[in-house]
Structure 1
Amino acid sequence: MNKRLMAILCALALPLSGCGVSGGETLPPEGAYKVYYAVTGKQATVRSVDYEYRIPDADAETASALARMVMTAPETYGLSSPVRPEVHFRSAELEEDGRLHLDLSEQYGGLSGIDLTIANACFTLTLCQLEDVDSVYITVEGEPIPYQTLQLLRESDLVLSGAEEETVTISATLYFPWAGGYGLAAEQRDVVKTESEGVAAALVSALLAGSQSGDGVRRLMPEGTQLRSVTVENGVCTVDLSGEFLSGMPEVAADARLLIYSLVNTVCAMESLEVQSVQLLVEGQRVPDYGGVNAAVPLEPDFTLAQ
């Protein structure tokens, strides 16, 4: 049976399992490589990766062709590319000491936690099959991924080590709309994040998950809203959410304003981030009007809403 590499709790090291999507080991076609993808659907009882054999274009540079294959849809049922369609390939260069430098577009920087682990594993396992490649170094628009613990990825790191990525607990204040009136309730929360996950991303993810106490607060966050990416630069935190945040916008303008500022206040309240404002994006685009709030510009917190 095909060996499936399973990522458990965002581990950077992936232990081997004895199950596979295709159900049997087959001889590879001549010139074929194993291209690794994320396991999806009922096959994914845990987050894991598996491969299918693919043959790169003979006229293309092999490393570049294999990296692009990881980013395209596989033919095998139960597998999918580990990256979103908006992530683009930029370059792949073999450097000294067998290091392959893979550069991807800025959208790859929006991955965190288990999603980043899975994507890194797929690229590393696929590209380390090449004879001269011993390790893979992934950058975003030419820059290292700042919150990634291991910058240089080797196949041995993924296959042979069973160590899991350590988790970190941070004390945070999350803001949720009051149930009985207008304003925001401050909820003190211990937020657990992985080493590779940014603090801002962990805060937004916790906010999307909802209140843990539930006392006196209501949920205005549209169902299905997902975090696409979070970046912090020059005191501005840019939060990119999925389309559900816009399509499910509260009908009452006051509720929409509370929803916006629950996000802004939560991020800006974390002193360690040194964030003064939040730029909201939906599917990568600015939002000129969200329930009467001009969200096309970075928004500063309004802590008077929690008084």
Structure 2
Amino acid sequence: MGKRGAVLLLCAALLAAGGCASRESSGGTGQTYLVYYSALSNQQSESAVAGERRTLSGGQEAVTALMDLLLSQPQSAGLTSPFPSGLQLLEWQLEEGRLHLDLSDHYYSLSGVDLTLADACLALTFCQLEDVDSVYVTVEGHELPYRTTQQLSMENILLAGGADEPMSLGVDLWYLKPGGRALSVERRQIVKTVDQTLVQAVLAAWADGPEGELLSCLPEGSQIRSVELQDGVCVVDLSQEYIDGLPRSEQTAALTVYAMVNTLCELDGVEAVQLYIDGEPAPAVGGLPLDRALIPDTSLSETGS
């Protein structure tokens, strides 16, 4: 159906006012709903998620039918399901306006932006049902302890996405552990301003450094000249101070570089990172192949002690 049937998520304020999705009967048979998917890989989209109009077949129960659609791939170009392969709805219960969805342990694999988008798609899709005011998600009966909000509704979805609205979302930022022998993740809530792309916002937040005990991975004096996404490769242009300031230890230098690579590759649509220095492709530094696109290496969080 292309993008004709897709309606962009405008902003959280409009959603709270009921301006994006209308209520439908919870019976579901023959009803048409907006089923929400990730739009981050669509560089033409002005929103993090988008809704695709789908009509339920006769005899289908609305909750299970909508969940089946959420877990399948959308029909619209540029949209993708934000849910991990193999995820299943184990059980659901609707009580006093709260829809409790108990999901399989595949949901544990989501974090940062991916978790934010998945939560948003669940809330925006199911809160269209006439009797559903909020969505409560558990994984095999347990809450996700690192989720800031357990009960999801249109009022508290941490997303906006219109051209004139900021977008707030959770991200995973990679930094050095004390001692410089391994990496670790700091979960952060950031705001993408209207004049930033998502990769710009995430890289700027990362460059600000960690808020806790982890160590910054941007060498002192380094400047980020530009960052843009090109066909799945995030091209980052840095100043000469970045190369000059890398640690002398090859292991620590590699961790410093991959902290940036892993952070950017957390984003949907980013498969690798290519570094430039003052507008030219970065040279190899010792054993570090900075002269080529680098793919993420999440095993670095387990190295060292």
2:125 corresponds to 1:131:
no
Match of 1:31 in 2: 31
CA drift at 1:131: 1.1
Q: Structure 1 residues 118 and 6, CA, compared in 2 at 3 Å: closer, same or farther?
A: farther
Residue identity opposite 2:148 in structure 1:
T
Match of 1:263 in 2: 301
**Secondary structure of the structure 1 residue equivalent to 2:90:** strand
2:162 corresponds to 1:148:
no
Residue identity opposite 1:91 in structure 2:
E
Match of 1:84 in 2: 84
Match of 2:247 in 1: 215
Deviation digits for residues 239-270 of structure 1 (CA, Å, limit 9, x no counterpart): xxxxx9xxxxxxxxxxxxxx9985325xxxxx
Instruction: Report the Cα distance in structure 2 between the residues aligned to 1:85 and 1:194, rounded to whole angstroms.
Output: 25
CA drift at 1:43: 3.5
2:187 corresponds to 1:193:
yes
Match of 1:278 in 2: none
Q: Structure 1 residues 156 and 137, CA, compared in 2 at 3 Å: closer, same or farther?
A: same
Instruction: Report the Cα distance in structure 1 between the residues aligned to 2:10 and 2:179, rounded to whole angstroms.
Output: 35
Q: Structure 1 residues 92 and 226, CA, compared in 2 at 3 Å: closer, same or farther?
A: farther
CA drift at 1:56: 2.1
**Secondary structure of the structure 2 residue equivalent to 1:90:** strand
Q: Structure 1 residues 174 and 87, CA, compared in 2 at 3 Å: closer, same or farther?
A: farther
Contact 2:7 2:52 in 1 (8 A): no
Contact 2:111 2:172 in 1 (8 A): no
Instruction: Report the Cα distance in structure 2 between the residues aligned to 1:194 and 1:159, rounded to whole angstroms.
Output: 13
How many residues of Structure 1 are paired with residues of Structure 2 in the alignment? 201
Match of 1:5 in 2: 9
CA drift at 1:57: 3.2
Match of 1:21 in 2: none
**Secondary structure of the structure 1 residue equivalent to 2:118:** helix
Contact 1:15 1:160 in 2 (8 A): no
**Secondary structure of the structure 2 residue equivalent to 1:59:** coil
Match of 2:116 in 1: 117
Superposition RMSD in Å: 4.7
Deviation digits for residues 8-62 of structure 1 (CA, Å, limit 9, x no counterpart): xxxxx5877xxxxxxxxxxxx9621111111143436666111111122322321
Deviation digits for residues 259-301 of structure 1 (CA, Å, limit 9, x no counterpart): 9985325xxxxxxxxxxxxxxxxxxxxxxxxxxxxxxxxxxxx
Instruction: Report the Cα distance in structure 2 between the residues aligned to 1:84 and 1:166, rounded to whole angstroms.
Output: 18
Instruction: Report the Cα distance in structure 2 between the residues aligned to 1:112 and 1:86, rounded to whole angstroms.
Output: 17
Match of 2:93 in 1: 93
Contact 2:36 2:52 in 1 (8 A): yes
Higher strand share: 1
**Secondary structure of the structure 1 residue equivalent to 2:157:** helix
Instruction: Report the Cα distance in structure 1 between the residues aligned to 2:43 and 2:264, rounded to whole angstroms.
Output: 24
Instruction: Report the Cα distance in structure 1 between the residues aligned to 2:56 and 2:49, rounded to whole angstroms.
Output: 20
**Secondary structure of the structure 1 residue equivalent to 2:135:** strand
Instruction: Report the Cα distance in structure 2 between the residues aligned to 1:262 and 1:159, rounded to whole angstroms.
Output: 30
CA drift at 1:212: 3.5
Q: Please say which of residues 131-140 and 38-47 is displaced more in the overlay.
A: 38-47
1:173 counterpart (163, 166, 177): 177
**Secondary structure of the structure 1 residue equivalent to 2:9:** strand
Identity fraction in percent: 33
Q: Structure 1 residues 53 and 45, CA, compared in 2 at 3 Å: closer, same or farther?
A: closer
Deviation digits for residues 84-131 of structure 1 (CA, Å, limit 9, x no counterpart): 213222122212x21100111111122112211111111111111111
Residue identity opposite 1:145 in structure 2:
L
Residue identity opposite 2:147 in structure 1:
Q
Residue identity opposite 2:35 in structure 1:
V
Residue identity opposite 2:126 in structure 1:
L
Q: Structure 1 residues 89 and 60, CA, compared in 2 at 3 Å: closer, same or farther?
A: same
Contact 1:88 1:104 in 2 (8 A): yes
Instruction: Report the Cα distance in structure 2 between the residues aligned to 1:219 and 1:137, rounded to whole angstroms.
Output: 41
Q: Structure 1 residues 6 and 109, CA, compared in 2 at 3 Å: closer, same or farther?
A: farther
Contact 2:30 2:57 in 1 (8 A): no
